[in-house]
Amino acid sequence: MRSFSARYRSAFTLIELLVVIAIIAILIGLLLPAVQKVREAAARMQCANNLKQFGLALHNYALSNDNCFPASRITVGTDAKFRSWTPLALAYVEQDNVGKLWNESLKWNVGTNLTTAQTVFKLFKCPSAPDARRPGTFGLIGPGDYGSINAIRRRFYTANSVPNFPIPGTAAGDEAVGALQKVIRTPLLSITDGLSNTMMIGEDAGRPNLYQRSRDTGTITADGHGWADPDCGFSVDGVQADLVTTGGTCFINCTNDSEFYSFHTGGMNTCMADGSVRFISASIAPATLAALVTAQGGDIVPGNF
C-alpha cells in the first residue's frame, strides 16, 4: 500500500507563483528595448540599402546619358513639374516592367501615369516609417520616403548665421544648387565640391502625413505625396524651432514638409553623389550641412561629419 507521502504532489504556493511572474515580467522588460534596438538597426540598414540602390541606379543612368544625372524635375513644354526623375530610375532598379507602363507624353498625375504612380515599391519606402498613409492631393500614391536634394536656400544661411552664401551655381540669387537640379541635368564633372562631399538623395519620410518632431499632426504635407511626385525632391530651408515659419534653426527630423526627416533615432540616411550612403546626425553643424548640400559652393566639408 502506497503511503500518503508517496501520493503527495508538491505545487507552487501563491507567493512563489507571483515571484515567478514578477521575474518573467522583469526579464521581458529588459529584453524588449534590446529587441527594439535590433529591429531599428535592421530597418536602418535596409533603409541605407534602399538609398544605395538609388545611388547605383543614378550612376548607371549617367553612364548611358553623357555622364549626367537626370534633372530632379523634368520639364516638358512650359511645365517644370511634368514628371520626376524616379520613373527614369525604374529600369535601373529591376522595375522595368513598371517603367514600361510610364507614358512620357503624359504628366505624372494624369491618366495611366497616375494609376502607375499608385504602385507600392518596397524600395521607395523606409522600413522605419509608418505604413499608414493618408491620401494626398492626387489620391493614395505609392509611398516615396526619399527625395532628391535639389538645392539649399539663402535663408538657411541667414537664419543659421552661416557666412558666405555660395555664389557659384546660385539660381536667381536665392538657391545654391545641389547634385540633382530641378530643371537641367547635372554633369558629374560639374559637381566641383566632390561627389563624396555632396548629398544627392535624402530621407523625407512619412509623407503625405505631416509629422513634426515624431508627432503625426493629423494633416498632410503641402506636396511630395508619393514616389512619382516631382515635389518629393526638395530645397533645404530649415525650420524655426516652433515649426511655424521657415528659415530657422531646426533642420533634421523636425518636420517632413520638404525637409530632412526620418524615423531613425538621432539622424537620417543620405546617399552621396558618389553612391555611398552616410548617416547624418541631427546635431550636425549648420555650416557642415550646407557644405554637404551644395554641389558647387566651394565650401569645405570637415572629415568627421
* Residue 207 contacts residue 221 (beta carbons within 8 Å): yes
Residue 88 lies in a domain: yes
Number of structural domains in the chain:
1
Residue 299 lies in a domain: no
Q: Using CA of residue 72, residue 77, residue 81, residue 84, what is the dihedral sign? A: negative
State mean pLDDT over 220-225.
94
Looking at residue 244, what is its pLDDT? 65
Residue 6 lies in a domain: no
Residue 144: give the domain boundaries. 34-293
Cell of 148: 532628391
pTM as predicted = 0.85
Residue for cell digits 538609398?
51
Looking at residue 12, what is its pLDDT? 64
Q: Answer with the residue of higher pLDDT: 302 or 78.
A: 78
Residue 53 lies in a domain: yes
pLDDT band at 75 (very low <50, low <70, confident <90, very high): very high
Cell of 299: 565650401
Looking at residue 21, what is its pLDDT? 83
Residue 29 lies in a domain: no
The CA distance from 45 to 51, in Å, is: 10
Residue 12 lies in a domain: no
Q: Tens of pLDDT along 126-145?
A: 999 999 999 999 999 999 99
Q: Tens of pLDDT along 231-274?
A: 999 999 888 767 766 666 889 999 999 999 999 999 999 999 99
Q: In whole angstroms, how far apart are CA 1 and each of 5, 6, 86, 153, 214?
A: 12, 10, 85, 95, 72
Looking at residue 18, what is its pLDDT? 77
Residue 265 lies in a domain: yes
Residue 26 clears pLDDT 90, i.e. is over it: no
150 membership: H or E segment, kind and range: strand 146-153
> What DSSP character marks residue 15?
H
Q: What's the full length of the chain, in residues?
A: 305
Residue 97 lies in a domain: yes
Q: In whole angstroms, how far apart are CA 155 and each of 96, 200, 204, 238, 288?
A: 40, 20, 20, 8, 16
The CA distance from 93 to 62, in Å, is: 14
